[in-house]
Amino acid sequence: MTQAPVTETIQIRGLRQPVSRIALGTWAIGGWMWGGADDRNAIATIHEALDLGITLVDTAPVYGFGHSEEIVGQALAGRRDRVAIATKVGLDWKDDHKPFRNSSPARIRKEIEDSLRRLRTDYIDLYQVHWPDSAVPMEETARTLEALVREGKVLALGVSNFSIAQMEAFGQFAPLCAVQPPYNLFERAMEHDILPYARQHDLAILAYGPLCRGLLSGKMTAETKFGADDLRSADPKFQSPRFAHYLQAVRELQDFAREKHGKSLLALAIRWVLDQGPTIALWGARRPDQIAAVADAMGWHLSADDRREIDAILARCIPDPVGPGFMAPPGA
């Protein structure tokens, strides 16, 4: 077994014990929008993550339309007591596999039972509303979820992709313990509202996309191509001329990480997220080798001067930054 290097932890209110500040993100493991699934490598990746000290796995029903949860459940068989499971609720789909928002009480009640079955467990540690649903009163959604906590099927509640106003509305009817926004060196909108709100209200932040869909891995070049079924084929960052701007920033950030800290860009990107506040970085991986470098993000910190130099690189290289809004699913 690999020596566990992930030693930084955070307590999410409602959970039985602290969890690692690096979590395994399993969107890509589900295969949908990431070029298909590889179950053997996926299970090996989850096992490697646990051996490396990761104690939080984040998934969702819509990741592979149940497939990601099934793989997580299979991989955690006999190891459930070693890990906290975070999954989501509130996205529906029909036969065409095009997700839409549905946070109705009936949908929540169906999803919790489906998720428990797929994950091979009798409770979910952190249950998160995947996207806000304007067609359903927030009270109905929140009260249904709060009932799941009372019933012991869920330990703590969170939301994903919610605004401050939506979190305030949810919190009137059920206790909110965590929020999951997109957050990385290139996508920083949440610093203006979500981050200070989370600090004020003791919410853990599960930052998804900390490597910006692989851009911050340092492995892409101008020749990198994406298939039609790959999420990045629709991401404005990966289209000309923006792709060239982001790749230039990547090169300069790589040089900075190596010269100032003797680290890889990947380690810098994760460390940057962890240094911003009560954050957990959701490290997405599909193969064991993609998770092996987690130790490089531990045991060091970025100074205020470091952060200013990073900001200067971004401002110089990326004249027209864009956020992750293209990923938002439609309403019903």
For residue range 36-46, list pLDDT tens digits in order.
Answer: 568 889 999 99
Q: Which residues contact 23 (CB under 8 A, 6 or more apart)?
A: 54, 56, 57, 58, 86, 206, 280, 281, 282, 283
Would you tell me the crossing angle of helices 242-256 and 265-274 to the nearest 10 degrees? 90
CA distance 8 to 280: 10
Residues of the chain with pLDDT under 70: 1-4, 30-37, 332
Question: In the annotation, is 63 catalytic?
Answer: yes
pLDDT tens per residue across span 215-242: 999 889 998 988 877 878 888 999 999 9
H-type alpha helices, the chain: 27-30, 39-51, 67-75, 105-119, 138-150, 164-171, 194-201, 242-256, 265-274, 304-317
Domains in the chain (CATH in brackets) are 9-214+267-303 (3.20.20.100)
pLDDT at position 232, please? 87
Contact in structure between 216 and 306 (CB atoms under 8 Å): no
> pLDDT for 68-84, tens place per residue?
999 999 999 999 999 99
3-state secondary structure of 314: helix
The pLDDT assigned to 2 comes to 47
DSSP string, 263-283: --HHHHHHHHHHTTSSEEEEE
Token representation of residue 7:
């030693």
The residue annotated as part of the active site, out of 63, 183, 208, 246, is 63
- How confident is the model at residue 29, as a pLDDT? 82
